[in-house]
Structure 1
């Protein structure tokens, strides 16, 4: 071993050019000597007795790009960081265990968090201070990243004996009585604009999926009001890509006007499921059309050799949303007087625009305008496009398969169920080695680390495929056992790794269903479909554990369980239904089984 060199890794350089992460590769030209999270890097920090700077983000994160261009490209900042810290970059999508632990730390420290997530740790990896974005130079009372790093270094040197390990504790959410769940969600519902909360509007996938299933079991006009106001706002507002389909990450305003323009695969999957189910429950054709446009987006934008890439950047040529924006004059010249007049009857278009002098498209109504929209999309496709994070994530692709199955059933498109069957087969061929499930695939490299969220998503998808085809029996049993093995001493474990602490699984179903909820959902489905005992469980805190509460509906006998000799057409049975083959032919629901004719 030579100085600054362990296992042929030279630490006085930025080593991210060796990475298998699109996000880390984006930072490979920073003057900061970034390293990947490995045991060797951690051991080197201990040997050098240098604190750690761990910076976490993802490839389509706008503010991650801003910091990469500002503070992380500033030579003075880099010189100080390189001299005083060992710097590590982490892709949160490849290492959700590290991200979850560090996010728990910043939320405990400050009450909020986000990305980029920059955490300063002692040489033996005890977190001390965490921040999000910081500028390259101090401005308007906001300290520069350089100044923050300097002050934290001084603090660590002066207080090294009083810095203690941080233990992230994932407490179970409190239980909630069924009668109070709807009222609790009503208290968060925005009656004026739809959605939940009075600030930024995120697509509330898990809340809507729970409410739709709950309404299928116990009809309630207040539930329908929350569902339809939110789905209508998403369709008409700026969260929706009106030309190509799909949704953006979230809207920065209460009125659903201006989004953060990145497109995430998980949002498309969950929105497809939600709008398909919304159509099944309400019969509103606008929801069917929305689901079909999401399918178009998945096919045209995300699909890659039968699987699906992770995300599209918010920025094009370092300008947020520029691919999607239109000036009034541009639209008038492109469309001509008559079509422009028709367009303005459907869309809000002004000379001053609604985002940096241009118009992000927001609808006034649901009237169709397909030819004009297709014409504008063809023009938009000729513009520079946002970059793509084209890694394949196992669990998110499995959620796409789940959404395809549900859309196939609720939209009466059986070809989508065949598509989902193909997706799961491809995922198993790529990620499953017979004993463990990998997590990420990029540029020919497979990340073999195992996570509960991946296992739970695969199991849930397989249980749905089994309802149509019993050829999945063996694999369903294998994955039920594999998923259950993540539970130790009564607690769910998200991941075990040789280079990081064991991380307990999260209960929070935002922005995607938690590993716990996916696992419990899949295992409950497996038990119901194979005749095993299912015990009633309490509901958990609304607006946190909503996907888990779908599992509670199943455990509490509020899903129909059909037993028949032949598969029933999904369009002919309620949305909250499972099917298995057998006799006598029955429909069991709400603690009563009735014989079918």
Structure 2
């Protein structure tokens, strides 16, 4: 491939840092990045724009690239008739959101690659996703589309402009499709959660876990909400459904049983055949979910999976400066999943003992015919207990056999050609990973996870923050670019507040407050009482959209509600709570009608209704406290935890209302104790762990 590239002349994408754009730098297409040069050229030459949006680990993006963008005949038409622009949707979600909405208006769905034809003033007139080079299966061919649209633009420009104008009006309408009601008399009470939880459960698959049929996505935001509804209602079936789903995900083929980590989604209903790309955000969110499942169930499978996933992130998705890469591709050597699948012959050739061959293959469902294009995706078919009974061996021995050969196969797999890595750092995804490492530290006590979180925050504060205090979204190889969007601020504030619970330090609270205030100044919509996705400092696009739905990741608005509630209880600033209330009241009806799209918001509403419980631990030792360790392993989703010791009680924590009346001890305490406060009432200092647990459990 490198020899081939050496013979080709690169296009302007060679100057970009995005791995996705660089993948297309040697296409014969004269690609531009989204910039003034390209947009001005389209206006000056009065040419339509072909906008192609994707991301580096997108399988069908690769397919369309190989079929069309590497084809000289297709490239000739594109170069002569269009101005061709490539956008990495992970770098520019604002652009992607606008034109995804256009695609959904026309086709009823969206996805990547996103293929959009625009007038020079950026109005869409034809949209779709993947197009094959030649028409097949009812999908028009890309070559045919190019020729027809270029002719139409020359001969029927009035019709195209009319279509584009209608598109824009429809986009404006859809951007207001969840208009906040601003009904300040609307009650925010538990009935909101009751109705939403019941509506959500009607979509549940009680056989295979998850929601709907196929493809199956983890939908972590919704599962996290159902755990909170279980916490406030005590109704077991909500917990049991989440438990079922987590088990199916962990034991299914979506889980990389050898190397750790999870693929993007399952193409089937049973979580067997994944779309093999691994995204940082999916893995971070699943870690957060599994940490909570461990806190509820104390089942080691959840703790073990958390460790395996975090170790995968540390090993494969962490750079030498302590921040996290974005993704690993689905493809390697031009084939989807090739890195991950096995023939039975390959596996048994590495296992010398026939009995061990039988046990290992039975456990992972390995067969001669395979379960994926003649090869095998590892997926747990039988439990260790079942195999123990069948083969008359001790559970520990069965586990040892599986672990031994899993390690052997992992080491062999490491010699294969790995999928390509997207090595850019995205702030919002890194923030989710920071939260995941904090949660992982809580349930395991492993310092390396806390250090990973703290190192990432330190890097962000040094490298992704401007001299004026604004945040950037993207970092790669020493360069930052693109001012942060709402989700970057929202997730990062959430991560800082998570860190406060394990490393209570005024600098993290100060940073969280500063970023909240910046977001309120630059993103807040005073009429709708919610946040725009872009700030008033960003480039002005066709429309200014809001992302209110929780999709693969939660929406910045949903997370911001809980940020405001948490910070109100820490700082005591009533404006934070007022804005959280307004955001909730404006979204309640939409959340009840469509809880599937508002899982994280419903969790934020839970926090508002349940009210936070303040748990302040006074510790003799800054590094380890048995009380802290035990409380960290409890499921307290409405907890605001802080740990005070001699080293930080002397800080300026007094300025925060959470600590104002609690920091009365500058001396080392004789023993660890806890203060528990709710509704402006606090317990006396408690040293007995069982009494602490009793009070916290009664909080349910």
Q: Does TM, normalized by the shorter one, top 0.5?
A: yes
Q: Match for residue 520 of structure 2?
A: 484
Alignment partner, residue 595 of structure 1? 683
Structure 1 366/425 Cα, relative in aligned 2: closer, same or farther at 3 Å?
farther
Q: Structure 1 residue 480: deviation in Å? A: 1.9
Offset of residue 80 of structure 1: 1.4
Q: Which residue of 2 aligns with 1:230?
A: 245
Taking the aligned partners of 2:29 and 2:452, their CA distance within structure 1 comes to 44
- Aligned equivalents of 2:506, 2:425: Cα separation in 1: 26
**Which residue number corresponds to residue 191 of structure 1?**
206
CA contact (8 A) 1:563 1:583 kept: no
Q: Which moved more, 1:341-350 or 1:140-149?
A: 140-149
- Tell me if 1:495 matches 2:534: yes
**Cα deviation per residue 1:481-524 (whole Å; 9 max; x = unaligned)?**
12222113234111142363463330121101112123222222
Secondary structure of the structure 2 residue equivalent to 1:351: coil
- Is contact 1:217-1:559 (8 Å) kept? no
Residues 201-240 of structure 1, C-alpha deviations (whole Å, 9 max, x = no match): 1111111122223323332211112101100000110110
Contact 2:20/2:55, CA 8 A, preserved across alignment: yes
Tell me what 1:301 maps to. 316
Shift of 1:161: 4.2
Size of the aligned set, in residue pairs, is 585
Cα 1:366–1:438 change in 2 (3 A) is farther
Match of 1:371 in 2: 404
After superposition, the Cα gap between the structure-2 partners of 1:520 and 1:502, relative to the gap in structure 1 and judged at 3 Å, is farther
Deviation at 1:300, TM superposition (A): 1.4
Q: Any residues of structure 2 matched to 1:341-490 within 5 Å, and which?
A: 341-367=358-384, 368=399, 369-413=402-446, 415-433=448-466, 434-467=468-501, 468-472=503-507, 473-485=509-521, 486-489=523-526, 490=529
Give the direction of change, closer, same or farther, for the CA distance of 1:495–1:463 in structure 2 (3 Å limit). Answer: same
Larger Rg: 2
1:204 aligns with 2:219: yes
Change (3 A) 1:38 1:333: same
Contact kept? 1:495, 1:502, Cα under 8 Å = no
Structure 2 CA distance for partners of 1:410 and 1:172, relative to 1, 3 Å: farther
Post-superposition offset of 1:134: 0.9
Report SS of the residue matched to 2:480: strand
Q: Which moved more, 1:133-142 or 1:301-310?
A: 133-142
RMSD over aligned Cα atoms: 2.2
Measure, in 2, the Cα distance between the counterparts of 1:146 and 1:448. Answer: 34
Distance (Å, rounded) in 1 between the aligned partners of 2:233 and 2:569: 21
Return the alpha-carbon distance in structure 2 between the equivalents of residues 397 and 340 of structure 1: 40
User: How far 1:381 sits from its partner (Å)?
Assistant: 0.4
Query: Which residue is 2:143 aligned to?
Result: 146
Q: CA–CA distance in 1 between the matches of 2:360 and 2:544? A: 52
Q: Tell me the CA shift for residue 458 of structure 1.
A: 1.3
Deviation at 1:29, TM superposition (A): 1.4
Unaligned runs of 5+ in 2: 1-8, 181-187, 385-398, 620-624, 643-658, 663-673, 687-700
Q: 1:259 to 1:298 in 2, by over 3 A?
A: same
**TM-score, reference length from structure 2:** 0.80
Cα displacement string for residues 75-134 of structure 1 (whole angstroms, at most 9, x for unaligned residues): 222111111110100000110100111111111221101100000111211011111111
Q: Distance in 1 between matches of 2:10 and 2:456?
A: 40
Q: How does 1:497-536 map to 2 (within 5 A)?
A: 497-498=538-539, 500-501=541-542, 503-533=544-574, 534=577, 536=581
| Structure with a larger share of its residues in strand | 1
The aligned runs of 1:109-128 (5 Å cut-off) are 109-128=106-125
Cα deviation per residue 1:15-51 (whole Å; 9 max; x = unaligned)?
A: 1111111101101111111101012211110110001
Query: Who is 1:3 aligned against?
Result: none
Tell me the distance in 2 between the aligned counterparts of 1:387 and 1:503.
34
Residue 477 of structure 1 deviates from its aligned partner by 2.2
In the alignment, the residues of structure 2 paired with residue 574 and residue 335 of structure 1 have an alpha-carbon distance, to the nearest angstrom, of: 41
Spell out, residue by residue over 1:510-569, the C-alpha distance to the aligned partner (whole angstroms, 9 max, x if none).
Answer: 101112123222222211212233355454231111112221122223442335656961
- Aligned partner of 2:670 in structure 1 is none
Determine which structure has the larger helix proportion and give its number.
Answer: 2
Question: Residue 172 in 1 paired to residue 189 in 2?
Answer: no
Among 71, 86, 91, the alignment partner of 1:94 is 91
Q: Mean alpha-carbon deviation: is it higher for 328-337 or for 150-159?
A: 150-159
Cα 1:414–1:209 change in 2 (3 A) is farther
TM-fit CA distance, 1:153: 3.2
Q: Which runs of 5+ in 1 are unaligned?
A: 1-11
CA contact (8 A) 2:193 2:602 kept: no
Partner of 2:636: 575
* 8 Å contact from structure 1 (residues 23, 57) kept in 2: yes
Residue 170 of structure 1: how far off its partner (Å):
4.5
Q: Secondary structure at the match of 1:527?
A: helix
**Relative to structure 1, is the Cα distance of residues 517 and 366 closer, same or farther in structure 2, using a 3 angstrom cutoff?**
farther
The answer as to 2:333 corresponding to 1:317 is yes
More displaced, 61-70 or 416-425? Answer: 416-425
Query: Which SS does the other structure have where 1:500 is aligned?
Result: coil
TM normalised by structure 1 equals 0.93
Deviations 1:443-494 (A, max 9, x none): 3321132211111111111122223312323222212212222113234111
Question: Do the aligned partners of 2:432 and 2:495 also contact (CA within 8 Å) in 1?
Answer: yes
* Residue 64 of structure 2 is aligned to residue 25 of structure 1: no
